[in-house]
Chains A and B, each alone.
Chain A
Amino acid sequence: MAVSKLKVMLIEDDEFTRATVKSALQGQGINIVYDSAFVKDGIEFAKQNRPDVAVLDYNLGKGPNGIDLANQLRRMQPEIGIVLLTAFLNPAELDTKISQLPAGSRYLVKHSVSNIKVLVKEITESAKYSI
């Protein structure tokens, strides 16, 4: 599927970060169909609209984290692609949690996001899980 045809939802609790990532992805022609700071809103949207890919921040503040949300989305929609953003440099630091990530999920260290093409590539790769 062409990247521009993918329906992507973005869940990030920090407003500034969410707005910036959204704007950058849209600049690359990606269709951000929904963005929110809240897990419950993301779940509700996914139920109704079945996006192709969910881009999720790992740290969503109080309550569930990005992995909790990723697992729930997969339960609801087994073919959904998942991209998890984390500020940790070394994925091994998330080792025990990474193992709980749904199959085919991608994770991306946030400082790599400055190269927006890397994020676009991860979104495209994660979407292949649904194909």
Chain B
Amino acid sequence: MRSLFPSIKHKPVFYLDFSLAYIGIIFLGFSIAGTEIFQLYPENKSEVIQIRLIHTFYLLAIVFLTQVGLKRLDKNTAGYAGLAVIGLWLAIPSLFVRVYLMQAYGLISSADVTSYFFEQFLIVLVQAFFWIPVVIILGGQRSRIFEAFKAYEKRLVITARKSIRQSAEFIQVKKQVDKDYKEELSMHSNLLLNSITFGDNAQLNLKQRNEIIQRYLKTNTLRDLSRDLNQKSETVTSNSKFDQDMHSLNLISKQFNILYNFVARKEPLPAWVYTLLSFVLIFPNYIHFFTTKQILLSLPVYLVIYIVGVQINRTLRSGGKYAILQTNSLTLLIGFLPFLEMQVFMAFIPNEAVQFPMAIIAFFYPLGFFVYIRFSQIIQPEAIDVITNDDIYASQALSEAVSKIVKDEFKQSMSHQWATYIHGKILTRLAATSLKLEQAVGNNDLESFEAGLKNLKVILDDPTNEFEQDQMNLKDEIASRLDPWEGLITLKLSVDPTLEGITNDRVKDLGEVIEEVISNSVRHGGSQNISISITSSDHPDIQLLIQDDAINPLPSVPARIGLGTKILNLVSDGRWSISHVDAKTTVKLTMSLLDR
């Protein structure tokens, strides 16, 4: 079993990822500033703040330069010893800078420099051998978990698409979207129809009637509707790494408890992790505030922490119903132990009690400890395994988020179809009718004007009647998509004869995919020859293979994910791929031909 906390004999290799180091440095800056301002140098707040700012910027810069240097050396991984060397490389010079600044700002005298240096040196060693390696390891794990989670999310979306598409709820959503768009189109059409009736007045002359009608035709809201639907359909998803990470982080947060429960039960943290973490968190206070005797008196608490840690480990492994609840309580108890110890000391040996502000020791420390432990638990390699192996089930929140993604994709696809319909059928005919009316007025032809007006009323009275299209069988559907390209490009088609007669909604989806791929290939790739093959795969799946002779290479990483990607995702449930040899492109797609 892999673990971030393996036995001594193991020599694991870690990814050098400094992404959390920057956050750690800023957190460290706040933490040290807090101790110095409120406890060590309350009279020198301004100096402390200036020193902290300079020192924090120095640390951020040196970490950045180190990161760049290691990248140039092509050094991407290191064992724990290597991480400790990096820790020393960062921490020791930082100590010299800090000592210099403390002296320059008059917080320590020349006589105190040596003792201050050695006092801080112990803290620096903890930073070098513990904190810096830990943030690098956790950063690497975080990145790998993100990657695993993105792949998991993709698989989840594929599964969700299949089940959602056939669900009663989705069919209801589809009907509702369809109904909404029809109603919206009818409303805008009726509005225009009512307006142009002002021009249907026999008492006015042709020119006056035409002026009224043309005014409404030019200012109608159908164009806005078509544009709005088109914009909705082209709403794109950012593909930047940061945005993807934020998206995944959002989904991980919805899945956090389930992931934590799985990982904690399968690979609970060993007891020494609780003990060591407690020690290193308290260690700087030993240096600053404790005498040797006080340190020795406080040590038994670590035995208690170890024992509680063992109990947590056992409880999680036992897999009891309330294991997570019990161990959460025990983890919080460990966080409260320094506070309890302080209370015991104050009650029985007040002379040896070191007092800390109540807010810190009774609130921030236990809470911080709890969060550290949860984070350390979930970021274990085991988390990657359970995600990769689909061992976890999707939480309600995650299922809802994925369901929303699929529904949004569907709505965008519907918006596109309606925008195209309004643009191609309604607006075009309105424009033509407008022209016909103008002509009739120019020729003073009342009969022709009335015919144009009648035609206008027919269009607006039932604007959706041509939207529903008859289903075609697969052979005819493909022919209807390919025939219009004749003369522009050369197409080679091969279809499994057993598929040609299939007739259902999915056949239309297949047609849309073919049209999308061909139009992209011609418009962006400059293809002149395209071959299409449709073969039976595992029933009811079919495989579509489209190869072109594109001359313009597509960008390797598209900046944005557009409607085309969404159509392919929606139709294939994510089972498609695209590959390039030079600019030539091959698209492979698998989809079910079962009716939805």
> Chain A residues in contact with chain B, CB under 8 A?
12-14, 16-17, 20-21, 23-24, 27, 38-40, 42-44, 57, 59-65, 67-69, 72, 87-90, 93, 100, 110-111, 113-116
Contacts and interface: CB of A to CB of B under 8 A. Distances in A.
Given A27-B439, A64-B522, A114-B437, 18 more contacts: A17-B429, A17-B432, A20-B433, A20-B439, A21-B432, A24-B438, A43-B487, A57-B428, A59-B423, A63-B485, A67-B523, A110-B428, A113-B434, A113-B435, A114-B217, A114-B434, A114-B438, A116-B438
Given A14-B425, A43-B487, A88 B434 contact: no
A87 B226 contact: yes
Contact of A88 (B218, B227, B480, B484): B227
B424 interface: yes
A61 B217 CA distance: 23
B430 interface: yes
B227 A110 contact: no
Contacts of B439: 20, 23-24, 27, 116
Q: Which of B230, B442, B487 has the most CB of A within 10 A?
A: B487
Nearest to A37: B484
A4 B224 CA distance: 36
Nearest to A72: B488
A21 B218 CA distance: 17
A14 B442 CA distance: 24
B185 to A, nearest CB: 14
A89 B480 CA distance: 29
Contacts of A64: 484-485, 488, 519, 522
B223 A116 contact: no
Contacts of B230: 93
A93 B227 contact: yes
10 nearest A-B pairs in the assembled complex, by CB-CB distance? A63-B484, A110-B431, A87-B427, A40-B487, A114-B434, A17-B432, A43-B487, A20-B432, A40-B486, A59-B424
A110 B429 CA distance: 10
B484 A87 contact: no
A20 B435 contact: yes
Nearest to B224: A89
A21 B428 CA distance: 11
Interface residues of B, number: 41
Contacts of A111: 217-218, 223, 427, 430-431, 434
Contacts of B214: 114
A79 B439 CA distance: 31
B226 A24 contact: no
Contact of B435 (A14, A88, A114): A114
Given A93-B227, A114-B217, A87 B522 contact: no
Nearest to A42: B487
Q: Which of A13, A23, A88, A110 has the most CB of B within 10 A?
A: A110
A68 B489 CA distance: 11
Interface string B430-463: 1111111111001100000000000100000000
Interface of B: 214, 217-218, 223-224, 226-227, 230, 420, 423-425, 427-439, 442-443, 455, 480-488, 515, 519, 522-523
Contacts of B484: 38-40, 60-64
A113 B223 CA distance: 15
Given A39-B484, A39-B487, A43-B487, A100 B432 contact: no
Given A38-B484, A61-B424, A16 B438 contact: no
A17 B488 contact: no
19 contacts: A13-B424, A16-B432, A21-B435, A23-B439, A40-B485, A40-B486, A42-B487, A43-B487, A60-B484, A61-B484, A64-B519, A65-B519, A68-B522, A88-B223, A90-B227, A93-B227, A93-B230, A111-B223, A114-B214
Given A89-B223, A114-B217, A14 B433 contact: no
B435 A116 contact: yes
B420 to A, nearest CB: 7
Contacts of A68: 488, 519, 522-523
Contacts of B455: 16
Given A14-B425, A64-B488, A72-B488, A24 B480 contact: no
B564 to A, nearest CB: 13
A72 B527 CA distance: 12
Contacts of A88: 223, 226-227, 423
Contact of A39 (B218, B226, B443, B488): B488
Contacts of A93: 227, 230
A30 to B, nearest CB: 13
A100 B230 CA distance: 19
A50 B488 CA distance: 16
A131 to B, nearest CB: 27
A65 B434 CA distance: 23
Contacts of A63: 481-485, 515
Contacts of B437: 114
A43 to B, nearest CB: 4
Contacts of B522: 64, 68
Contacts of B486: 39-40
B432 A14 contact: yes
Nearest to B448: A23
B226 to A, nearest CB: 7
A20 B451 CA distance: 12
A114 B430 CA distance: 10
A119 to B, nearest CB: 8
A35 to B, nearest CB: 13
B351 to A, nearest CB: 78
A87 B431 contact: yes
B430 A14 contact: no
Contacts of B227: 88-90, 93
A89 B228 CA distance: 12
A116 B283 CA distance: 86
A88 B432 CA distance: 14
A24 B452 CA distance: 13
Nearest to A41: B487
Q: Which of B214, B424, B484, B523 has the most CB of A within 10 A?
A: B484
A110 B223 CA distance: 11
A57 B38 CA distance: 75
Contacts of B483: 40, 63
Contacts of A113: 431-432, 434-435
Nearest to A20: B432
A87 to B, nearest CB: 4
